Chain A
Amino acid sequence: MYQRSAAIVGAAHSQLGEVPGSTAIGLMADAAVAAVVDAGLTPSDIDGIVVRGPDDEYCFHQQLGERLGLNASFSTSLDNGGASQSLAVILASLAIEAGLATAVLCGYARNSWTRTRRSGSRNARMNQSTHARIREWRDSFGYFGEPATHALGAQRHMATYGTTKEHLGHVAVSVREHATRNPHAQIRWPLTMDEYMDGRPITDPFGIYDCSLRTDGAGAVVVTDVARARDLPHTPVIVRGFGSQNNLRGWTVDDHMVQTAAKASGELAYRSADVSPSDIDTAQLYDCFTYMLLVQIEDYGFCEKGEGGEFISAGALGLDGEIPTNTSGGQLSEGHVEGMLQVVEGVRQLRHEYPAERQVTDAELALVSGHGGNTVCHSTLILERGR
């Protein structure tokens, strides 16, 4: 069993949003350096790297080590899509406990806004899918893009449980409300339900405000052992427990669309941390689309299965709600950095470093999720404010 001996001691993000001409590795280095500085460590302290970049960037950890002049006893790049970033912290914690490394940089970077702009067409990259199997079994039917994949799940959930478009709207509006108080958020203007409902239709039931943003940005954290963490500048954030689940049989099979891998990943994480959903003070969930936040609220047991829509519509995600969620604005509003900013936000909330208007009062436990890999891979962190 994991002995809870790892802690996050540094956290940072790069410039976020529209960063013309940016490269993913450049943004990654910005965030990595800032996270190490935040931790009060020096380059020679870092002996581990677990990162991920855009899917077409080979060996991202090697690129980062080259830039920052680091060798590493433990390093790799991950391939679990949006679940990779929480998984990076899990692997770092295990590596530290096993003695493979003493201080591990975890991070993710993308330059999606710049890439889209450079291509001259917002659609250019989607005209042909990258995997032969997807080209064969999806493209032929006009099935392009990630919104459709998640929309298929949303539509099934709506038919099964009576979830409505308005319920999804409450996700978008709630998360945006948090973003209005985050000076780094890519979109900060308040979203009303009317504006949400009038949003440009994409693929039913999703409109533009159900979809996360195209972001240039990176996030990074530094993980080390708890004993060392106590000598560093910030209140340590203990990696109290974690879980993962990968429904590799696929998104369209079994009941994976309406009960996602978050369910089993969460059960493992709660057991690992020896806590229950009611103990969690704030959740930072992978909100690539509104529906994915809603279904995870259910899968993590913050409400009953099928009741996520009503629960969220009653204000559950707000700073004073039942479970303050995506308090930085999430991927729907702060910026889509594939779950890495969720880790960073969880750390900051547990350090109590925000002004009162953004701070979850007395936050002691945060749950962070990552989801991706053709929407079947999932990882969960349960983080605890240290002493």
Chain B
Amino acid sequence: MSTSASETTAESVGAPRTIPRPTSESRYFWDACARHELVIQRCTSCGRCWFPPSNHCQYCWSEDFAWTPVSGRGELYTFTVFRRAYASELVEQIPYVVGVVELEEGPRLITNITECETAHVRVGMPVEVVFNDIAEGFTLHAFRPREDPQSPGTGAV
């Protein structure tokens, strides 16, 4: 998508979304998402990873990093179920789950939890990445349970 365009709302895969405007630092990440690939930056000096994207390693301040494909697997660190719509285009969407996923590689991402009843979402649940093509050339990541999430959630109702 064009960087000169403002954030717009697109209707696709069931829900309208705010499409972010990629920055010089995040463009590679979003382009990879559009190819259904999850990538993060790994420091070539100290080997550690960070997220969201920025031009310096958070640990050693090196500017040398490599975009690295990650497993797409992780654990749900925490989550919340939105019961109230903060924008008119989200009314149809509630209840939906915003979660923080800790990737096997370390960094935590804010994302959505999908393909799971809200009552079955629980902290510590193993999850894996999926991709939602929400607009032409633009894709958001989401995570779904890696196992059948049959045990009731911890305070998730």
Q: Which residues of A contact B (CB under 8 A)?
A: 123, 126-128, 132-133, 135-145, 148, 151-153, 155-156, 158-160, 164-165, 200-206, 249, 252-253, 257
Number of contacts between A and B (CB, 8 Å)?
A: 112
A203 B20 Cβ-Cβ under 8 A: no
B80 A257 Cβ-Cβ under 8 A: no
Complex Cα distance A363/B87, Å?
Answer: 46
A253 B108 Cβ-Cβ under 8 A: yes
B26 A136 Cβ-Cβ under 8 A: yes
A136 B58 Cβ-Cβ under 8 A: no
A155 B123 Cβ-Cβ under 8 A: yes
**How far, in Å, is B59 (CB) from chain A's closest CB?**
11
Would you give the 0/1 interface string for B1-36, flagging 1 where the beta carbon is closer than 8 Å to chain A? 000000100000001011111110010000000000
Across the interface, B79 reaches (CB within 8 A) one of A126, A155, A253, namely: A155
B124 within 8 A of A: yes
Q: Given A135-B20, A158-B155, are A204 and B140 neighbors across the interface (CB < 8 Å)?
A: no
Q: What residues of chain B lie closer than 8 Å to A155, measured between beta carbons? A: 78-80, 123, 154-156
B130 within 8 A of A: no
B123 A132 Cβ-Cβ under 8 A: no
Q: Given A141-B98, A159-B122, are A249 and B86 neighbors across the interface (CB < 8 Å)?
A: no
B140 A141 Cβ-Cβ under 8 A: yes
Closest to A133 in B: B52
Q: Which residues of B contact A (CB under 8 A)?
A: 7, 15, 17-23, 26, 52, 58, 77-88, 90, 93, 96, 98, 100, 108, 110-112, 122-124, 140, 154-157
**How far, in Å, is A73 (CB) from chain B's closest CB?**
38
**Most-contacted residue by chain A among B108, B110, B123, B156 (CB, 10 A):** B110
26 A-B Cβ contacts within 8 A? A126-B87, A128-B7, A132-B23, A133-B52, A135-B7, A137-B20, A140-B140, A141-B98, A141-B112, A142-B15, A142-B17, A142-B82, A142-B96, A142-B98, A143-B110, A144-B87, A155-B78, A155-B79, A155-B155, A158-B123, A201-B84, A203-B83, A204-B83, A205-B80, A252-B110, A257-B78
Complex Cα distance A261/B18, Å?
Answer: 32
Closest to A151 in B: B80
Across the interface, A203 reaches (CB within 8 A) one of B81, B112, B140, B154, namely: B81
- 7 A-B pairs with the lowest CB-CB distances in the bound complex, closest first: A159-B123, A144-B86, A201-B83, A156-B78, A136-B20, A151-B80, A204-B81
Closest to A205 in B: B155
Q: What residues of chain B lie closer than 8 Å to A249, measured between beta carbons? A: 58
